[in-house]
Amino acid sequence: MFKETCEVLENKTVAPDHFLLKLSSKKIGKAALPGQFVQILCSGDSLDPLLPRPFSFLEASPTSFSLLYHVVGQGTELMAKFKKGDKVHVLGPLGKGFTLRRKTEDGRGKRLLVGGGVGIPPLYHLAKDLVRTKEVKKSDIHVFLGARNKSLLLCEKDFLKLGVQLHLATDDGSKGHKGYVTQVLVKFLKSSIFHLPSSLIHSCGPTPMLKAVSLVASEFGAPNEVSVEVPMACGFGACLGCALKVKGETPGSHRFAIACTEGPVFEGSKILWD
């Protein structure tokens, strides 16, 4: 975990109300893992808004990292005003990311990445790492993207460049399957034959999607992990504000996990969805 003052290298629109922010970094970028996140002080030294805002990594290198953010309120509106050369206070890398390496009998397993909205950026980070580390064959990496319309299928081209298998869905049918991305996932799981237990489904996006994916996963008996989005104050375990209801030690019991340190990536089967 580092506290860095990063310089804005780039802050450009990539989709309606969506920006890509690239920041210089000596420490955070080098340490960043897929699924981890940073806390950004959008208002600099002003007290309004007071709290930092959490954002997943889209990409990371030893000298920089980038985020892809949706402008939804006061903090992200201020971020949209960031100009090249501005200084930004950042905390990171934070949290526990996605599972990268895992033992499977003679690596027969596939990786299924299911993303929606601003849940897509961290999955791109993950896909890129899986390809780079040759953890699984490109042909075994299947990415499922969902969005309201095709202009919001974030990172689509980047995934194509990676050479992974892409499956698309839009609510309005402007591209790919018309409907939910989970429907595409189900179809895929039904039609294709591969060793599910040694596969792993990673998903990130709106909570209803995460819930649906982990239900599907458990139906098919496929291990799955989800990256949750909960309101946070500190982002590193100091406030206990980011509670997530998960299964407790004893059957039927529950406890509140601290999403910023135990997560944001959790085993889907552990979460008690309401």
Let me know: does 123 contact 57? Beta carbons within 8 Å.
Answer: no
| Binding region for ligand FAD (CB under 6 A) out of 24-32, 72-80, 163-171, 176-184 | 72-80
CB nearer to a second copy: give 8 or 100: 8
Q: Per the structure block, which two tokens stand in for 68?
A: 């892809």
Secondary structure (DSSP) of 103-120: --GGG---EEEEEEGGGH
Let me know: does 35 contact 56? Beta carbons within 8 Å.
Answer: yes
Q: Which of residues 108-137 bind ligand FAD (CB under 6 A)?
A: 118, 121
Residue that the structure tokens 């019991």 belong to: 253
Closest contact distance (angstroms) between CB of 239 and ligand FMN is 4
Closest contact distance (angstroms) between CB of 270 and ligand FMN is 24
Residue among 151, 165, 261, 269 that touches other proteins (CB under 8 A): 261
Q: Interface with ligand FAD includes 90 (CB under 6 A)?
A: no
B/e letters for 232-262, b = 16+ CB within 10 Å, e = fewer, are bbbbbeeeeebebebbeeeeeeeeebbbbbb
Let me know: does 165 contact 153? Beta carbons within 8 Å.
Answer: no
Q: Is the four-CA dihedral 110, 114, 164, 36 of positive or negative sign?
A: negative
Q: What are phi and psi of 271, to 5 degrees?
A: -80, 135
| Binding region for a second copy (CB under 8 A) out of 39-47, 97-105, 118-126, 193-201 | 39-47
Three-state DSSP state, 230: coil
Q: Interface with ligand FAD includes 92 (CB under 6 A)?
A: no
Closest contact distance (angstroms) between CB of 45 and ligand FMN is 17
Q: Interface with a second copy includes 48 (CB under 8 A)?
A: yes
Binding interface with a second copy (CB under 8 A): 43, 46-48, 74
Binding interface with ligand FES (CB under 6 A): 232-235, 237-242, 258, 260
Binding interface with ligand FAD (CB under 6 A): 37, 49, 53-56, 67-70, 72-76, 118, 121, 229-232, 264
